[in-house]
Amino acid sequence: MFIDTHTHLYDEAFGGEEDAAVERAVAAGVGKLVFPDISEPSRQRMFELADRHPGVVFPCLGLHPTDLTVNWEAEIEQMLAYRGRRVYAIGEIGMDLYWSKELVREQADAFRRQLDLAHEMDLPVIIHSREATGQILDILKEKKALGLRGVFHAYSGSIETYREIQRLGDWYIGIGGVLTFKKASLPETVKDIPLERILLETDSPYLTPVPHRGERNESAYVPFIAARLAEIKGVSTEEVGEITTNNAETLFGI
């Protein structure tokens, strides 16, 4: 069995096809799906899909850095209305300076608040980091005493950055479709990252792996990522599945 530790099958890209996408994943051997939260507009849809697939879909709570506004505190209060629901991580949260640098302070403050929330709720964290590695690491250094744990989603950093991350808590690396891209540098980095620190993910509907690149991504494509990872590591796809599934079950308690 495989686990997709980062998938947005509740996204509008799957409108009317969400349940079928879950069923296709299960049929492909992807038996558990972790749903990161984004923001209020899609949150109820995410929980409703999770309710229809108990034991398969595991929802999270979080305010995505590109979805927050100057009113981020009120947006987090909206999110906390769901605090009574069973959730499995705080995420996806973090910082993204690729699209805009206008709300850097707000992104950082919202990230700090949600890291505190993860500590309060004893939950792992799903971190979104895009062109913000320095800022993310600085904040994790501030919060090191909290003993945080989690995953750096869609990891694209260097092996040196990976090693620095490991000094700041109990962190895994999320590896997805980029690993299969012809010109990607990620395979070289992944060679030096132990399988025991890797989680599989799709980030569907984005970052579709080869041989489906250019199409809408979905959780059923995790085996393509696992096969490429197995090739890089020189092990069987079954071993990749066993180890990464154990990693995900340990981190998320699923």
Strands laid side by side in the 149-152 sheet: 90-96, 125-130, 149-152, 170-175, 198-200
Distances in whole angstroms, Cα of residue 32 to Cα of each of 96, 116, 160, 207? 27, 27, 31, 19
Class of residue 74 by CB neighbours under 10 A (exposed 0-12, middle 13-18, buried 19+): exposed
For domain 62-202, the question of CATH label 1.10.150.20 is answered with no
Orientation angle between helical segments 159-166 and 133-142, nearest 10 degrees: 10
Other C-beta atoms lying within 10 Å of the C-beta of residue 174: 24
The domain locations on the chain are 62-202
Among 165, 173, 46, 68, CA closest to 113: 68
* Residue 134 CB-half CA count within 13 A: 3
pLDDT score recorded for residue 166: 95
Give, for all 254 residues of the chain, the pLDDT tens digit. 999 999 999 999 999 999 999 999 999 999 999 999 999 999 999 999 999 999 999 999 999 999 999 999 999 999 999 999 999 999 999 999 998 788 999 999 999 999 999 999 999 999 999 999 999 999 999 999 999 999 999 999 999 999 999 999 999 999 999 999 999 999 999 999 999 999 999 999 999 999 999 999 999 999 999 999 999 999 999 999 999 999 999 999 99
pLDDT score recorded for residue 101: 86
Q: Please state the pTM of the whole predicted model.
A: 0.97
pLDDT score recorded for residue 100: 78
Distances in whole angstroms, Cα of residue 29 to Cα of each of 4, 176, 203, 235? 10, 16, 17, 19
In angstroms, the CA 174 to CA 201 distance is 6
Structure-token pair, residue 198: 């890797």
Main-chain dihedrals φ then ψ at residue 218, nearest 5 degrees: -155, 165
The angle at the Cα of 212, spanning 240 to 177, to the nearest 5 degrees, equals 45
